[in-house]
């Protein structure tokens, strides 16, 4: 449901959060941006730091090189900073929750910066919220922004909820809110709202001290985010998350065996196979899901971020072989979008965007039916395909 990534720039429609040619890290992000030409939504980021407190993305950025970087499906690490004050950042994740591990140098001024929302123009109605609880070592909040909101209907109830927990007590903390070079900082502030805002915690660290940060996400509620965390990352064992996620990828990637190929060819093949399993993304949360098509919470399974214009020809037919257990739930998810919104989507992000040519959801549904995947409401599927040509103009 949520991707946990290193962030080299402020993402937006046409720019992803990680750009290979960049040479600084601005944060470690929980993102839902599916691809470069679609927007992010409900995101949050954290960034480790030592020395003078710097909050805005470009100010807090630390240099890195790719030789100090490791990237795998189940684990990421990078070493950042100058020679005297390097920080190592590591990422492991489950589906809806992630865990970061930051290795600090010795410092009396170590910080972790939280950015809850990042609208760079003070024109939008979106306002996020965070609350710091130093006794629980926890920051909770939500981000209601959808970068592609101008393409679809208003969603008054949409929020990307998050819970951020720390395994280390913090001595100082605060909030910030700004569109300027120097943020408005409220030292020891516990709550903040705004369109470009966040918080921070500060503490002392010993040489090579590890500080762990867990992030739980939800589109349903903070309570659901907490439940997701209890199911996916209940303790602080970073290596266990790395190993569990490796096993899941290993099981899925081993569904196709390659013979007679070189090691380089195998690397290319399995990297491509890995990419086929990224989207559509899981959108339900253990039996419930928020629908961005009627702005309500429902019972059931849900997938989202279908790039139908790009994927109906090859990806979805491939999933019949590599992910057969997900095919009918994916079709059911499209039918739920039809029920809750009135028509099949062209490119949900996460609601209607009404972009791309054609109506390719009908091709995905018909192909699954012909191939024998029919564990969904067949009458509703026929109705949805017939009604596809009556999509309203937004």
110-164 pLDDT tens trace: 999 999 988 765 456 789 999 999 999 999 999 999 999 999 999 999 999 999 9
> 74 Cβ partners below 8 Å, 6+ apart?
92, 242, 243, 245, 246, 248, 249
pTM of structure: 0.95
Tell me: pLDDT of 375 over 70. Answer: yes
pLDDT level of residue 253 (50, 70, 90 thresholds): very high
For 153-208, write each residue's pLDDT tens digit.
999 999 999 999 999 999 899 999 987 777 888 899 999 999 889 999 999 999 99
Q: Which two tokens stand for residue 111?
A: 């910080």
pLDDT level of residue 354 (50, 70, 90 thresholds): confident
How far apart are alpha carbons 69 and 65 in whole angstroms?
7
Mean pLDDT, residues 267-279: 96
Q: What is the DSSP letter of 254?
A: T
How confident is the model at residue 124, as a pLDDT? 64
Q: Which two tokens stand for residue 234?
A: 């209940």
3-state DSSP assignment of residue 171: coil
Tell me: pLDDT of 251 over 70. Answer: yes
Tell me: pLDDT of 388 over 80. Answer: no
């Amino acid at each position: 449901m949520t991707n946990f990534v290193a962030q080299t720039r402020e993402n937006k429609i046409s720019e992803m959060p990680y750009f290979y040619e960049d040479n600084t890290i601005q944060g470690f992000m929980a993102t839902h941006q599916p691809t470069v030409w679609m927007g992010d939504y409900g995101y949050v980021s954290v960034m480790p730091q030592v020395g003078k407190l710097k909050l805005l993305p470009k100010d807090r950025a630390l240099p890195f090189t790719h030789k100090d970087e490791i990237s795998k499906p189940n684990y990421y690490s990078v070493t950042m900073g100058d020679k005297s004050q390097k920080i190592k950042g590591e990422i492991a994740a489950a589906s809806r929750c992630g865990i970061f591990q930051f290795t600090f140098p010795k410092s009396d001024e170590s910080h972790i910066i939280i950015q809850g929302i990042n609208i760079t123009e003070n024109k939008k109605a979106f306002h996020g919220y965070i609350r710091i609880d130093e006794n629980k070592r926890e920051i909770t909040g939500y981000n209601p922004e959808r970068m592609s909101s101008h393409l679809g209907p208003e969603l008054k109830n949409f929020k990307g909820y998050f819970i951020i927990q720390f395994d280390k007590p913090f001595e100082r903390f605060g909030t910030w809110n700004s569109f300027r070079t120097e943020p408005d900082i409220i030292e020891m502030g516990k709550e903040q709202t705004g369109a470009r805002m966040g918080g921070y915690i500060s503490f002392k660290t010993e040489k090579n001290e590890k500080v762990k940060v867990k992030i739980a996400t939800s589109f349903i509620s903070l309570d659901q985010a907490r439940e997701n965390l209890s199911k996916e990352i209940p303790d602080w064992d970073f290596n266990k998350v790395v190993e569990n996620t490796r096993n899941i990828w290993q099981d899925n990637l081993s569904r196709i065996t390659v013979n007679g190929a070189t090691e380089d060819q195998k690397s290319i093949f399995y990297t491509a196979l890995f990419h086929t399993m990224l989207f559509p993304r899981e959108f339900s949360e253990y039996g419930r899901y928020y629908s961005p098509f009627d702005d309500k919470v429902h019972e059931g399974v849900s997938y989202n971020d279908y790039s139908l214009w790009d994927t109906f020809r090859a990806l979805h037919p491939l999933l019949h072989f590599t992910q057969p257990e997900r095919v009918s739930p994916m079709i059911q998810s499209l039918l739920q979008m039809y029920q809750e919104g009135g028509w099949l989507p062209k490119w949900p992000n996460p609601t209607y965007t009404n972009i791309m040519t054609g109506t390719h959801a009908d091709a995905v549904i018909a192909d699954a039916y012909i191939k024998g995947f029919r564990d969904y409401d067949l009458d509703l599927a026929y109705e949805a395909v017939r009604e596809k040509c009556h999509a309203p103009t937004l």
